[in-house]
Structure 1
């Protein structure tokens, strides 16, 4: 099987940057920017809802759990369609496709961040909570100074795994014509029409490299932590 990579050579700038030079960010650059934005929002909102769920065990926790389970039980593409068509009606003005996709992925991913964070907090000994309260600290101070500093570092591998999935989820922006990596690849394929294998194999390689590098980060972090502990113990 022969491959003609000239289509990649002729369009690599468009695939990586879209029409950024003309003021419209696109391609791989837009994929990364959307991923970082959605990931940050998901992390903030997910940790916040996990903290609220831990602190308030009654109906507040049940409502947050129900909301998280609801959003996790439906396809992400439906969430994108909902926000894309419904947000402009509720807000009374148009919302860009990029904003819609970022909010959709952030909302979808925040549910998983909430579950992971809450599990990490509750895995810690409740004796630490009792000791903190006995020393005069409030529940919020116990969370801030005792529980979260322990739980969050242990959850970094889970957060990175969620971020890897989030990067791949950005490809669904194709359905609302946001010019991220998959969309511009489809545009190039529609224009050339004779190199689909070369184009989409190249796009697959890009996703594979990015996600593989990120997936290796937890292992490298654990290895480095063990090296530091071993060095500290040898002193």
Structure 2
């Protein structure tokens, strides 16, 4: 028997330790998703532009980021970016780890969202591009008005799936001391001497959230398939 004891857990513990960490994990996921999609879409357009001056740097960036473990990138940003940089951000001196995590995740996830968006753009029939050009649209107008709206719709399930993976990966910011969901459970477990239970509870919370989101994505994917 492991002798697990959860009697120490109550709402006050959750409110004091866990909710703040959960809030940051969700915020980090949302900011990294939005920023990653925007930056990733730009990278995808650069790679598809046919101009080596744009495609080359974008390809190097995407392949480079995708070839390095996320935890190493987190540590690099945290250790190499001067501490003085964070003083220009609101309360940056006290939240250096959190700001570093946000910057890292946006930069890192952009490489993955870029590949998703590139596949989505390439899935649009070339005939629609030719039709837009025949109507007098330039490259930017064709992408903004014709290609990207359809690409986003096609890629919604994949984008959401990547977001779920991103939420799981937020636990890696524990390496730089950022106060995320895992950190909240860890602190509570250490104070009450129940570290094993704290890690088990954290795993359960991650599982419940990710399972619920995965179920939602499957339902959305089925609905999109019906619309098509």
1:20 corresponds in structure 2 to none
Question: Residues 150-189 of structure 1: matches in 2 within 5 Å?
Answer: 150-189=150-189
Distance 2:227 2:38 in 1: 29
SS in 1 for 2:82: helix
The runs of 5 or more residues in structure 2 that have no matched partner are 88-92
CA contact (8 A) 1:120 1:154 kept: yes
The runs of 5 or more residues in structure 1 that have no matched partner are 18-25, 230-235
1:127 corresponds in structure 2 to 127
2:218 corresponds in structure 1 to 219
Question: Residues 68-217 of structure 1: matches in 2 within 5 Å?
Answer: 68-88=62-82, 91=85, 93=87, 96-193=96-193, 195-217=194-216
Alignment deviations for residues 99-156 of structure 1 (CA, whole Å, 9 cap, x no partner): 1001111111110100110111112221221221122111111111111111111101
Asked whether 1:50 is paired with 2:44, we answer yes
- Superposed displacement of residue 89, structure 1: 6.1
After superposition, the CA RMSD in angstroms is 2.1
Alignment deviations for residues 11-59 of structure 1 (CA, whole Å, 9 cap, x no partner): 2223332xxxxxxxx3211111111111111111111221222224423
> What TM-score does the superposition give when structure 2 sets the normalisation length?
0.88
Asked whether 1:5 is paired with 2:25, we answer no
> What TM-score does the superposition give when structure 1 sets the normalisation length?
0.85
SS in 2 for 1:206: helix
- Superposed displacement of residue 3, structure 1: 3.0
The total of aligned residue pairs comes to: 220
- Superposed displacement of residue 7, structure 1: 2.5
Distance 2:209 2:34 in 1: 18
Match of residue 15, structure 1, among 4, 10, 17: 17
Distance 1:122 1:223 in 2: 22
CA contact (8 A) 2:120 2:154 kept: yes
1:232 corresponds in structure 2 to none
CA contact (8 A) 1:8 1:198 kept: no
Q: Which moved more, 1:216-225 or 1:204-213?
A: 216-225
